[in-house]
């Protein structure tokens, strides 16, 4: 992101927060929560502990700046200086609540004066929803994270800090706790065997990433897939030749999507097909008696071995511009 883009992000953020403050700031709501959606139960849970001052309601005198924090937390600060978050301090025109350590840990004066660990916001001890909302204060704009609060991950109590480490990432790029796909396998062991099948998307080999197909930050369609419900656009990202449009479409490619015929992770069958024999796949939808001649008829469509390889003749199975039965592209 360019400096300009960051500036715009912050401007937008302040506009939105400004409006939110007008609407929300009542006498009862005393800024001790991270976002605007945390309920009463969360407030009670953190009674007596320092909790995040909302970014809406800020007393600038409670902030000390990153240099002060660094003076006692040299080791942590070293990692921070290497990472992308020091850049937040470049937004000089913003208030202290968006600067340095305190952008995440909240106002630090009381803690800096006492060195009492109970007087600073510890993100690791917040609920996943609360700590994630703190991150989203800066990261919720743009496609990538817009849906996190409704994601399968947060709904199942998986938050930003389960995948990202701010201070000690194993993978500096994107601050990942562990590299993909190991990061994902650490919880999704069940899908791991698919990627060891004889035919598979080469995820373990590093050619394709889980996050090429899924958005770990959530999305609007099932299985947190990127792009449309039919999965078309997702697969088209890489398999552009299948996108068409074709003069003669093979209907299920568009209506049911690629997974009607392929297992997207991996398969024991060549071409990641869901069935061991192509004819069995076709016959899930096409009836021999109606579409392709009775089995005993003297037709190339009977079940004789040599006709079983349907795609020997129907080669352009994803669609054709010249032939309605897909004999040629």
Q: Of the candidates 38, 31, 28, 26, which has an alpha carbon nearest to the alpha carbon of residue 56?
A: 31
CB contact at 8 A, 21 and 56: yes
Q: Of the candidates 49, 66, 43, which has an alpha carbon nearest to the alpha carbon of residue 130?
A: 43
232 touches ligand HEC by CB under 6 A: yes
Q: Which of residues 164-183 bind ligand HEC (CB under 6 A)?
A: 164-167, 173-176, 180-181, 183
Judged by CB under 6 A, the residue of 22, 207, 240, 305 near ligand HEC is 207
Q: What is the CA radius of gyration of the chain?
A: 27
Q: Is 298 exposed, middle or buried (0-12, 13-18, 19+ CB in 10 A)?
A: exposed
280 touches ligand HEC by CB under 6 A: no
How far, CA to CA in Å, does 196 sit from each of 50, 90, 183, 205? Answer: 48, 46, 17, 10
Q: Which is nearer to ligand HEC, 28 or 196 (CB)?
A: 196
Q: Which of residues 3-42 bind ligand HEC (CB under 6 A)?
A: 6
Closest contact distance (angstroms) between CB of 18 and ligand HEC is 17
Q: Of the candidates 49, 16, 8, which has an alpha carbon nearest to the alpha carbon of residue 35?
A: 16
Q: Which of residues 58-77 bind ligand HEC (CB under 6 A)?
A: 64, 66, 68-73, 76-77
Q: Which of residues 105-164 bind ligand HEC (CB under 6 A)?
A: 105, 108, 111-112, 115, 117, 120, 122-124, 132, 134-139, 144-145, 148, 152-153, 156, 158, 160-164
Span interacting with ligand HEC, options 21-29, 30-38, 43-51, 301-309, rule CB under 6 A: 301-309
Residue number closest to ligand HEC, CB atom: 108
**Length reported for the chain:** 329
CA distance 30 to 88: 26
How many amino acids of this chain bind ligand HEC (CB under 6 A)? 132
Judged by CB under 6 A, the residue of 57, 127, 211, 302 near ligand HEC is 211
52 touches ligand HEC by CB under 6 A: no
The torsion angle over the Cα atoms of residues 76, 81, 87 and 93, rounded to 10 degrees, is 70
């Amino acid at each position: 992101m360019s400096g300009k883009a960051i500036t715009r992000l912050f401007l937008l953020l302040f506009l939105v927060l400004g409006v939110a403050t007008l609407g929300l700031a009542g006498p009862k709501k005393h800024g001790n929560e991270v976002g605007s959606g945390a309920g009463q139960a969360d407030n009670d849970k953190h009674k007596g502990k320092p909790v995040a001052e909302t970014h809406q309601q800020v007393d600038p005198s409670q902030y000390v700046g990153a240099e002060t924090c660094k003076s006692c937390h040299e080791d942590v600060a070293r990692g921070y200086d290497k990472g992308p978050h020091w850049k937040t301090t470049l937004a000089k025109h913003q208030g202290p609540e968006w600067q340095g350590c305190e952008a995440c840990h909240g106002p630090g004066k009381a803690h800096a004066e006492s060195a009492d660990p109970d007087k600073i916001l510890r993100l690791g001890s917040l609920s996943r929803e609360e700590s994630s909302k703190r991150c989203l204060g800066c990261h919720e704009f743009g496609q990538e994270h817009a849906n996190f609060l409704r994601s399968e991950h947060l709904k199942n109590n998986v938050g930003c800090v389960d995948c990202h480490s701010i201070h000690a990432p194993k993978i500096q790029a994107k601050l990942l706790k562990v590299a993909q796909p190991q990061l994902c396998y650490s919880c999704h062991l069940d899908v791991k065997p698919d990627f060891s099948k004889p035919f598979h998307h080469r995820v373990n080999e590093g050619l394709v990433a889980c996050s090429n197909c899924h958005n770990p930050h959530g999305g609007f369609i099932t299985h947190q897939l990127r792009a449309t419900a039919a999965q078309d656009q997702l697969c088209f990202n890489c398999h552009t030749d299948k996108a068409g449009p074709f003069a003669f479409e093979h209907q299920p490619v568009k209506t049911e999507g690629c997974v009607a015929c392929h297992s997207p992770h991996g398969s024991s069958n060549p071409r990641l097909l869901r069935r061991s024999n192509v004819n069995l796949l076709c016959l899930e939808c096409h009836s021999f008696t109606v579409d392709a001649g009775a089995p005993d008829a003297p037709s190339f469509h009977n079940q004789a071995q040599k006709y079983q390889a349907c795609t020997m003749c129907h080669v352009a199975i994803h669609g054709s511009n010249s032939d309605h039965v897909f004999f040629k592209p």
